[in-house]
């Protein structure tokens, strides 16, 4: 019998929250980038990147509402294009971070513009195949036929996911900014930028392995 009072299955809420928290706390492109960016340039820069990441998640969530994310399951070459574009973008950001370290050594440090920070966060998430696959493979498992229409359930659960991601990403930004302030951000900026470059290369390699096609 349909549970008209509940748009989503109440029994799925706790498992869904646990899954989302574990996913968001797993080291990945967003976490590494936001932490190093905030350490190097402060919480305002980090929060602008969070806004971009959040918009990227919102795009995938809305695509899932209209059933568009399933295209990645039906057309594997399209997924591979997204996968390798994401890897290439991470490597480009690593190069840019290393170049920023060289500028810092030459006392030619320039704060990235808000638009640049927002755009990088947006693209980093749009080119993250794991963000797309979340809405293709994991989310459908929490959709139940005897509740609200599937599109409504996807929208509700997607908004919960975005809210949790904003909270976790915001916490990463504030924590990294605080740590950098205690350690003297100005003196450590060169090493922070180089650390970001190294971390992004490692994350790119991890993404190649983690998102590979399994037989």
Q: Which residue has the higher pLDDT, 12 or 203?
A: 12
User: What pLDDT shows up at residue 163?
Assistant: 95
C-beta neighbour count of 178 within 10 angstroms = 13
Q: DSSP letter at 204? A: H
Question: Which pLDDT tens digit goes with each residue over 77-115?
Answer: 888 888 888 888 888 888 887 777 665 554 455 677 889
Write down the number of H helices and E strands in the chain. Answer: 9, 0
Question: Which pLDDT tens digit goes with each residue over 117-148?
Answer: 999 899 988 888 778 878 877 888 888 888 88
CA distance 86 to 93: 11
Q: What is the pTM of this model?
A: 0.80
């Amino acid at each position: 019998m349909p549970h008209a009072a509940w748009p989503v299955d109440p029994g799925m809420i706790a498992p869904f929250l646990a899954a989302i928290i574990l996913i968001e706390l797993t080291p990945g492109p967003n976490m590494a980038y936001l932490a190093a960016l905030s350490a190097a340039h402060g919480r305002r820069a980090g929060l602008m990147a969070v806004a971009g990441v959040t918009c990227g998640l919102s795009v995938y969530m809305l695509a899932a509402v209209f059933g568009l994310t399933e295209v990645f399951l039906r057309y594997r070459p399209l997924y591979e294009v997204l996968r390798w574009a994401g890897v290439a973008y991470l490597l480009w950001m690593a190069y840019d971070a290393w170049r920023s370290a060289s500028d810092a050594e030459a006392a030619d440090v320039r704060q990235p513009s808000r638009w640049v920070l927002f755009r990088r966060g947006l693209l980093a998430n749009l080119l993250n195949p794991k963000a797309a696959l979340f809405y293709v493979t994991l989310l459908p498992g929490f959709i139940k036929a005897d509740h609200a229409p599937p599109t409504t359930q996807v929208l509700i659960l997607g908004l919960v996911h975005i809210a949790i991601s904003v909270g976790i990403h915001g916490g990463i930004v504030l924590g990294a900014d605080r740590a950098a302030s205690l350690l003297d951000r100005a003196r450590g900026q060169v090493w922070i930028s180089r650390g970001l470059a190294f971390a992004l290369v490692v994350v790119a390699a991890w993404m190649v392995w983690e998102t590979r096609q399994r037989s």
